[in-house]
Amino acid sequence: MAVHRIVSLVREVPDLLLARSFFVEFGLEETAPGRFSTVLGGEQLILRSGAAPRVVELSLAADDEADLESIRARLAELGITASLVNGELQVLEPATSILIRVSIGERLARDPGASAPTSIDRNDLVRREPVKPLRLGHVALGCVDVEAAKRFFVEGVGMRISDYVMGGPFMRFDTDHHNIVLLPAPMTLLHHTAWKVRDVDEIGYGGARMIENHPERHAWGLGRHAASANYFWYLKDPAGAFAEYYHSEMDELADGPFFWDPGPDSEELPVAAWASPALEDRPLVPEAMKAPILSESR
């Protein structure tokens, strides 16, 4: 069969306490210090203390042992050595130096849709509980050699390309539009993590709640991406990346692995079909990428 989902992401962050409190407020459940679970995906984010922000590991799940063997063989053809350790494939992705782990894991059930209103009680609209993200849907990585990293994930891991946006391939495992995004950057960095919620209402509620006492967290949203049809709201996390609440009903409409295949003459779509105005000119450029650009203009 195939690799079908992201299991978890391990990050090092300079201010662990601050990052932990951000993701608790964001709605993840901290099951042990620095370990965070989603409603459907289980433990999906592990934060550790480190001198500088860094992505350490990205864990993926495949259907069976044959998948691990075929990934190992395909990577070998690319000249990349992956080793089987306790039934899990481990390989350092050469362009980003991120440890990619592929284990055998169950597929998640399809995401539950938004619950239809059952009454005309408008109090139902007034939420009092934090939003609880369903799962880690995608991870966007900045990297220097996008082509090399793309080869690893497409030819090695077996991902498919859905679109190119902002010069980067948006790659998927199955019926989500994208699960791993590669963006050209002057250094390896985590651009954003994206957490699926049940509907647009949860994006608006979650985003508004996150910036209520922290306006500095606001990056961009509410808006809707063009290529993936995802609704989004991006927040700045305390370790230099963005955290995105998203939802797309197109995920539910996608009926198979070919759903998102672009036509040969499909044009590159704009980043957003629509969005509320951002406060900054380049709202999705991480701080780490702004410094060299600023010094160039001096």
Interface residues with Fe ion (CB under 5 A) are: 194, 244
Rank residues 72 and 177 by Cβ distance to Fe ion and give the closer one.
Answer: 177
Rank residues 146 and 194 by Cβ distance to Fe ion and give the closer one.
Answer: 194
Q: From the CB of residue 236, how many other CB atoms can be counted at a distance below 10 Å?
A: 22
CB of 168 to Fe ion, least distance (A): 11
Are residues 190 and 139 in contact, defined by beta-carbon separation less than 8 angstroms?
yes
CB of 279 to Fe ion, least distance (A): 19
Rank residues 104 and 222 by Cβ distance to Fe ion and give the closer one.
Answer: 222
Angstrom distances, CA of residue 294 to CA of 22, 142, 238, 277: 28, 18, 21, 23
Which residues are CB-neighbours of 80 under 8 A, at least 6 positions away?
Answer: 91, 94, 152, 156
Q: Which residues pair with 113 in a beta bridge?
A: none
Are residues 88 and 103 in contact, defined by beta-carbon separation less than 8 angstroms?
yes
Shortest-Cβ-distance residue relative to Fe ion: 194
Residues written for the chain: 298
Which residues are CB-neighbours of 89 under 8 A, at least 6 positions away?
Answer: 68, 71, 72, 82, 83, 101, 102, 103
Rank residues 152 and 233 by Cβ distance to Fe ion and give the closer one.
Answer: 233
CB of 20 to Fe ion, least distance (A): 22
Rank residues 4 and 138 by Cβ distance to Fe ion and give the closer one.
Answer: 138
Which single residue is written with the structure tokens 């900054």? 280
CB of 138 to Fe ion, least distance (A): 6
Rank residues 16 and 190 by Cβ distance to Fe ion and give the closer one.
Answer: 190
- Strand 180-184's sheet: what is its strand order? 160-165, 168-172, 180-184, 135-143, 189-196, 242-247, 231-236, 218-225, 272-275
Are residues 231 and 224 in contact, defined by beta-carbon separation less than 8 angstroms?
yes
CB of 275 to Fe ion, least distance (A): 13
CB of 229 to Fe ion, least distance (A): 12
**C-alpha dihedral (229, 232, 236, 238), degrees to nearest 10:** -90
Rank residues 138 and 160 by Cβ distance to Fe ion and give the closer one.
Answer: 138
CB of 155 to Fe ion, least distance (A): 23
